[in-house]
């Protein structure tokens, strides 16, 4: 009877088919629709799976390449380099003082300057600056002394057992002819336990990142500076330029010094130039025909000068004569040997007293 339901189906309309063929036809149509829908929905997943599969192959190749690089590395050489770096760090740490030793180190620095005859006008430690592995202490200093004494002071600092450096050095000439050194000295110490713990907490907060590790360079052997210029000429000594200015002509530059003798001087004016400014006193000011004249006393001699005359061993030119003071401009040389101008002033003796 089942076979009779499948007979003559081609000549019948599907709506006139028996129940079994109609059920099988509907079931087949549902299967076709399901297969087509599944194919279209799964197509995007298949494409993503193919992409991930290709990435997997690339990652495997990269892993093999890096594994080969690690295999080719000289691990023994890296271990030796690490040990060598530890030795370098130990040598440098031995030159760092502890927190408790900083007071003694500051005293040694001060005594080194005093021992050389220098006068400290400023010795001011700043706030300690904490670095990654050490602490830095800047010290502002201002010392007064001679050229050779400062050279010896620098040599003594270089021979200290701890690391002390000079920074931002400025050298100038004071009023009394001595040199004035303004500088920032820096000394260093290692961190104590509490500071190390605080530093590690800060490092833990920072994000980890891959950094380039440079090749270690062996630290150079430090040779302490030994000052040996005590027997040489002091470049700041005015006597060095006495020959150059004997005829009133500077050695270099465009500066000109008026060395012509004044016509009003009653005595030889060379006597005024044979005294230093420290030996000359301004004892009076007079006026003749609208021109101011200064009365100078050196030793037991009295001299009368006016603006434009030359006085002192440095052949300073008088630029102004006031009621209570006299201004002088001298031509001297700095440490590089370049001629520069320096202004000086003599006050009336009665006013200064």
Residue 121 located in a structural domain: yes
Q: Are residues 100 and 198 in the same domain?
A: yes
Model-level pTM greater than 0.75?
A: no
Q: Single out the residue in 71, 105, 129 at which a domain terminates.
A: 71
The CATH number covering residue 120 comes to: 3.30.70.60
Q: Are residues 178 and 141 in the same domain?
A: yes
Q: Are residues 191 and 245 in the same domain?
A: no
Better-scored residue on pLDDT, 190 or 330: 330
Residue 252 located in a structural domain: yes
Helix (H, G, I), strand (E, B) or coil at 147: helix
pLDDT tens digits, one per residue of 10-64: 666 766 777 777 788 888 888 888 888 777 777 777 788 888 999 999 999 999 8
Q: Are residues 264 and 301 in the same domain?
A: yes
Average pLDDT score over residue span 131-152: 88
Gap between the Cα atoms of 104 and 153, Å rounded = 17
pLDDT at 315 over 90: no
Residue 124 located in a structural domain: yes
Q: Are residues 60 and 129 in the same domain?
A: no
The CATH number covering residue 306 comes to: 2.30.30.830
Q: Are residues 265 and 181 in the same domain?
A: no
Q: How many domains does the chain have?
A: 3
Average pLDDT score over residue span 66-77: 74
pLDDT tens digits, one per residue of 72-116: 766 777 788 888 888 887 777 777 777 777 888 888 888 888 888
Q: Are residues 65 and 98 in the same domain?
A: no
Quick one: pLDDT at residue 303? 87
How confident is the prediction for the chain on average, in pLDDT?
Answer: 78
Residue 116 located in a structural domain: yes
Q: Are residues 121 and 169 in the same domain?
A: yes
Q: Are residues 150 and 106 in the same domain?
A: yes
**Selection from 114, 109, 163, 118 nearest residue 140 by Cα:** 109
Cβ of 187: how many Cβ atoms within 10 Å?
A: 23
Integer angstrom CA distances of residue 334 from 163, 215, 234, 237, 303: 30, 44, 11, 10, 30
Quick one: pLDDT at residue 143? 92
**75: its two tokens:** 């691990």
Cβ of 141: how many Cβ atoms within 10 Å?
A: 21
Those residues whose C-beta lies under 8 Å from the C-beta of residue 290, and which sit 6 or more positions away, are none
Quick one: pLDDT at residue 206? 66
**52: its two tokens:** 């991930």
pLDDT at 192 over 80: no
Quick one: pLDDT at residue 246? 47
Q: Are residues 181 and 114 in the same domain?
A: yes
Q: Are residues 47 and 144 in the same domain?
A: no
Q: Are residues 110 and 161 in the same domain?
A: yes
Could you list the residue range(s) of the whole structural domain that residue 54 is in? 28-71
pLDDT tens digits, one per residue of 253-295: 444 444 444 444 444 444 788 888 888 888 888 888 888 898 8
């Amino acid at each position: 009877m089942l076979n009779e339901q499948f007979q003559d189906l081609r000549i019948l309309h599907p709506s006139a088919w028996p129940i079994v063929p109609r059920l099988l036809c509907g079931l087949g149509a549902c299967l076709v629709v399901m297969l087509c829908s599944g194919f279209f929905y799964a197509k995007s997943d298949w494409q993503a799976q193919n992409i991930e599969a290709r990435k997997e192959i690339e990652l495997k190749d990269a892993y093999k390449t890096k594994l080969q690089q690690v295999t080719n590395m000289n691990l023994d050489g890296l271990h030796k380099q690490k040990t060598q770096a530890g030795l370098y760090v130990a040598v440098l740490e031995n030159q760092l003082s502890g927190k408790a030793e900083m007071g003694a180190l500051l005293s040694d620095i001060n005594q080194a300057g005093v021992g050389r005859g220098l006068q400290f006008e400023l010795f001011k430690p700043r706030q300690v600056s904490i670095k990654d592995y050490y602490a830095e202490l800047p010290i502002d200093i201002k010392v007064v002394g001679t050229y050779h004494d400062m050279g010896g002071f620098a040599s003594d600092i270089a021979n200290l057992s701890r690391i002390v450096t000079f920074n931002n050095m400025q050298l100038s000439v004071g009023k009394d002819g001595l040199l004035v050194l303004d500088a920032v000295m820096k000394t260093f110490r290692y961190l104590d336990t509490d500071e190390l713990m605080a530093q590690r907490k800060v490092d833990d907060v920072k994000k980890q990142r891959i950094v380039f590790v440079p090749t270690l360079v062996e630290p150079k052997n430090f040779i302490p500076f030994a000052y040996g210029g005590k027997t040489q000429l002091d470049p700041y000594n005015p006597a060095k330029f006495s020959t150059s200015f004997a005829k009133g002509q500077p050695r270099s530059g465009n500066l000109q010094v008026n060395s012509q003798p004044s016509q009003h001087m009653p005595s030889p004016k060379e006597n005024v130039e044979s005294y230093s400014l420290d030996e000359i006193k301004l004892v009076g000011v007079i006026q003749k025909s609208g021109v101011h004249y200064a009365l100078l006393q050196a030793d037991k001699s009295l001299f009368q000068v006016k603006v434009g005359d030359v006085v002192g061993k440095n052949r300073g030119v008088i630029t102004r004569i006031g009621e209570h003071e006299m201004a002088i401009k001298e031509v001297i040389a700095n440490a590089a040997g370049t001629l520069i101008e320096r202004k000086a002033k003599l006050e009336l003796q009665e006013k200064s007293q």
